């Protein structure tokens, strides 16, 4: 029962908090450089996790745990940094829907690269439907071509999705971690270091106009550090190691809905009929992936047969 309650709590955290982080990123990058903000966010979160590890006197990680932590951290944190950059050009709701198609990439990458079972027919059909929705968003006027970078941002989102899928699947190689804070600290710190290198190369963060940083950007930054990284990222890491992948992926059904609502309310992001239709395709496709429709159909048949038998008796 304890594990079940912990799993439910982790799911709620990932559902609600990560759904709101797209809006928080939008506020943060108004006056902060995207990659620099993402790097600083995870460096600070890594420091907090490291302090908790010392306070709890956690044991050192094994060599296998260190390798997995670093490899997954590089991919996961850099993927998040790409999302931050893309939100300069693409509305947060659209970003959330496209990133929400993550279970499709995880299923395909897991099958083709990690030796996972071949997807069932229903899940393959779901992947096709979901990717059709993503393609519709990418090819429609839903993505603004701001200074010509809107379409480029969509391409970057595809790359971010692939990196996140690989990072998550690599992370699943390590189970039963006892030093969870130490593991998360190394994971976030290694990813933040690589993101910082890209920030130094393209953003020149040393030239930031500190007086021009808005209070809203700072509040959004600290929200991302505490809630988005320390709390929600840790909850996701626990789920990815202890819960079946198709269940972990259900966050992709909830996050886009929350993000679209928040983006529409706070940033007046347009919700066009094409975008709504494409979003429905993505959510329908995802539901075919993350829900066990074979079991649902079998149970429905049994219930129907039982109802008929009672009616005849």
Q: What is the pLDDT along the chain (313 residues), one digit of tens a residue?
A: 445 788 889 989 998 898 899 899 999 999 999 999 999 999 999 999 999 999 999 999 989 899 999 999 999 999 999 999 998 888 887 788 888 777 788 888 888 888 777 888 888 888 888 888 877 776 666 665 545 666 788 888 888 988 988 988 888 777 778 888 899 999 999 999 999 999 998 887 777 787 888 999 999 999 999 998 889 988 888 887 788 766 777 777 788 878 888 888 887 777 778 778 888 888 888 778 776 666 767 777 777 777 777 766 5
Residue pair 28/229 in contact (Cβ under 8 Å)? The answer is: no
- Class of residue 147 by CB neighbours under 10 A (exposed 0-12, middle 13-18, buried 19+): exposed
pTM (predicted TM-score): 0.79
Four-residue CA torsion sign, 68, 28, 248, 46:
positive
Interatomic CA distance for residues 279 and 284, integer angstroms? 9
pLDDT of residue 1: 40
Question: Which residue, chain included where needed, has tokens 């840790």?
Answer: 234
pLDDT of residue 142: 60
pLDDT of residue 2: 46
Residue pair 58/242 in contact (Cβ under 8 Å)? The answer is: no
């Amino acid at each position: 029962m304890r594990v079940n309650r912990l799993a439910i709590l982790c799911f709620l955290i990932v559902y609600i908090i990560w759904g709101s982080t797209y809006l928080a990123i939008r506020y943060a990058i108004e006056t902060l450089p995207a990659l620099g903000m993402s790097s600083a966010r995870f460096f600070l979160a890594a420091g907090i996790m490291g302090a908790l590890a010392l306070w709890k006197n956690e044991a050192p990680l094994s060599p296998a745990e260190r390798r997995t932590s670093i490899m997954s951290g590089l991919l996961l944190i850099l993927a998040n940094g790409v999302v931050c950059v893309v939100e300069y050009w693409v509305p947060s709701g659209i970003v959330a829907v496209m990133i929400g198609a993550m279970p499709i990439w995880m299923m395909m990458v897991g099958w083709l690269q990690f030796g996972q079972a071949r997807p069932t027919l229903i899940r393959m059909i779901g992947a096709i439907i979901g990717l059709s929705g993503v393609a519709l968003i990418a090819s429609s006027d839903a993505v603004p071509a701001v200074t010509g970078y809107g379409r480029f941002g969509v391409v970057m989102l595809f790359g971010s999705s692939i990196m996140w899928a690989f990072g998550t699947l690599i992370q699943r190689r390590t189970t039963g971690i006892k030093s969870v804070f130490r593991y998360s600290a190394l994971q976030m710190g290694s990813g933040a270091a690589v993101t910082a290198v890209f920030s130094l190369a393209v953003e020149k963060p040393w030239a930031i106009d500190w007086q021009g940083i808005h209070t809203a950007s700072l509040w959004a930054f600290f929200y991302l550090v505490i809630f988005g990284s320390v709390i929600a990222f840790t909850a996701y890491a626990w789920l990815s190691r202890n819960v079946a992948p198709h269940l972990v992926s259900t966050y992709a059904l909830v996050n886009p809905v929350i993000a679209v609502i928040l983006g529409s309310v706070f940033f007046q992001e347009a919700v066009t009929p094409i975008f709504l239709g494409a979003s429905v395709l993505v959510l329908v496709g995802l539901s075919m992936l993350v829900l066990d429709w074979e079991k649902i159909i079998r149970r429905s048949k049994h219930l129907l047969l039982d109802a008929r038998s009672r009616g005849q008796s």
